[in-house]
């Protein structure tokens, strides 16, 4: 099932490999760069109609060391089927690409992270045939960001850290720190990271906290219902209405001018100040027949008296 957390894993690991630094450090490899990484198909479905799909699969070609694959899974809670599916993913990908595979589990809860670490064993009696031990990125292995300077210098790491800690007690302080740190970004950069974080926070209560902190207007993840997208669409809709109002007001004035009827500033101001589309339609009809511009509002004058 594709979720916001899953989508974020696709984006952030493919576009910002620096988030993988804890894995490379554990493997004794230099920090990753984008040139080292190639996204591969996450489909591990065989010819039989039994669908299996890894969240993200990346081929890593480090400058120093042998190539390998990263199979990345975002896991929100323990799931019994993973004890079967995860070993299958590893065996299938290794056989298909002829490369060793490291399974990485992204967990927001400590209890889920402890479960995800395994080991998941395939044994019969005393005979152990296979063991799966995922590399877990969770609250205990991904540090909380507590410095605004880190947000400014490493926005991918700061964003990913907030997603991982989204269900931790200190998440509100983390989000306020990110909001302050993003003030140094230009509008487009801030909008990108702000919305990526909101998508990654998924259905957690932290998402509502973050929505209150967002002030930018741009959308990089259409259809996800983020605050930025809603703000953008609402502004766009208001812009359409505003343009229609202006067009009709200008039409009323042009009709009067085309008929050679002088338009005093008081009338012009009343027409351009009107925002009621139905009322402007009525004024446009009246502009065709009135003898003086002031007669546009005769009905209103009569009602007022």
Task: Judge if 95 and 219 occupy the same domain.
Answer: no
Q: Would residue 118 be called left, alpha or beta, if left means φ above 0 and alpha means ψ between -120 and 50 degrees?
A: left
Last residue within a domain, chosen from 194, 224, 254: 224
User: Does 266 map to a domain?
Assistant: yes
Q: How many domains does the chain have?
A: 3
Task: Judge if 274 and 164 occupy the same domain.
Answer: no
User: Does 143 map to a domain?
Assistant: no
Q: Which residues of the chain have pLDDT under 50?
A: 1-2, 46-50, 216-222, 232-233, 236-237, 301-305
Q: Which domain holds residue 39?
A: 4-137
Could you report the per-residue pLDDT of 148-194, keeping only the tens digit for each? Answer: 888 888 888 888 999 999 988 889 889 888 888 887 787 778 888 88
Per-residue confidence (pLDDT) for residue 86, from 0 to 100: 93
Give buried/exposed letters for 50-71 (b at 16+ CB in 10 A, else e): eeeebbbbbbbebeeeeebbbb
CA-CA distance, 227 to 225, in Å (whole number)? 7
Per-residue confidence (pLDDT) for residue 225, from 0 to 100: 55
Q: Which two tokens stand for residue 178?
A: 């990110």
Per-residue confidence (pLDDT) for residue 304, from 0 to 100: 35
CB distance 51 to 45 below 8 Å: yes
Task: Judge if 180 and 76 occupy the same domain.
Answer: no
Could you report the per-residue pLDDT of 102-127, keeping only the tens digit for each? Answer: 999 999 999 999 999 999 999 898 89
CB distance 120 to 86 below 8 Å: yes
Task: Judge if 196 and 266 occupy the same domain.
Answer: no
């Amino acid at each position: 099932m594709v979720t916001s957390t899953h989508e974020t894993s696709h984006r952030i690991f493919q576009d910002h490999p620096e988030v993988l630094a804890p894995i490379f450090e554990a493997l004794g490899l230099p920090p990753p760069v984008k040139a080292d990484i190639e996204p591969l198909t996450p489909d591990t479905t065989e010819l039989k109609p039994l669908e299996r799909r890894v969240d993200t699969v990346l081929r890593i070609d480090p400058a120093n060391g042998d190539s390998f694959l990263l199979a990345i899974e975002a896991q929100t809670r323990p799931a019994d089927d993973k004890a079967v599916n995860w070993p299958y993913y590893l065996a299938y990908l290794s056989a298909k690409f002829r490369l060793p595979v490291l399974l990485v589990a992204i967990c927001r809860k400590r209890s889920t992270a402890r479960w995800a670490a395994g080991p998941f064993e395939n044994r019969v009696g005393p005979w152990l045939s296979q063991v799966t031990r995922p590399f877990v990125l969770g609250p205990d292995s991904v540090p909380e960001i507590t410095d605004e300077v880190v947000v400014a210098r490493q926005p991918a790491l700061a964003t990913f850290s907030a997603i991982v800690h989204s269900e931790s007690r200190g998440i509100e302080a983390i989000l306020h720190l990110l909001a302050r740190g993003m003030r140094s970004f230009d509008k487009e950069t801030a909008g990108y990271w702000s919305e990526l974080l909101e998508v990654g926070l998924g259905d957690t209560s932290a998402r509502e906290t973050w929505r209150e902190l967002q002030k930018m207007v741009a959308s990089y993840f259409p259809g996800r219902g983020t605050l930025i997208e809603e703000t953008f669409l609402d502004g766009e809709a208001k812009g359409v209405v505003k343009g229609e109002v202006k067009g009709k007001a200008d039409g009323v004035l042009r009709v009067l001018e085309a008929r050679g009827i002088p338009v005093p500033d008081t009338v012009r101001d009343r027409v351009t100040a009107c925002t009621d589309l139905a009322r402007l339609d009525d004024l446009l009809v009246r502009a065709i027949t009135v003898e003086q511009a002031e007669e546009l509002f005769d009905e209103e004058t009569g009602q007022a008296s």
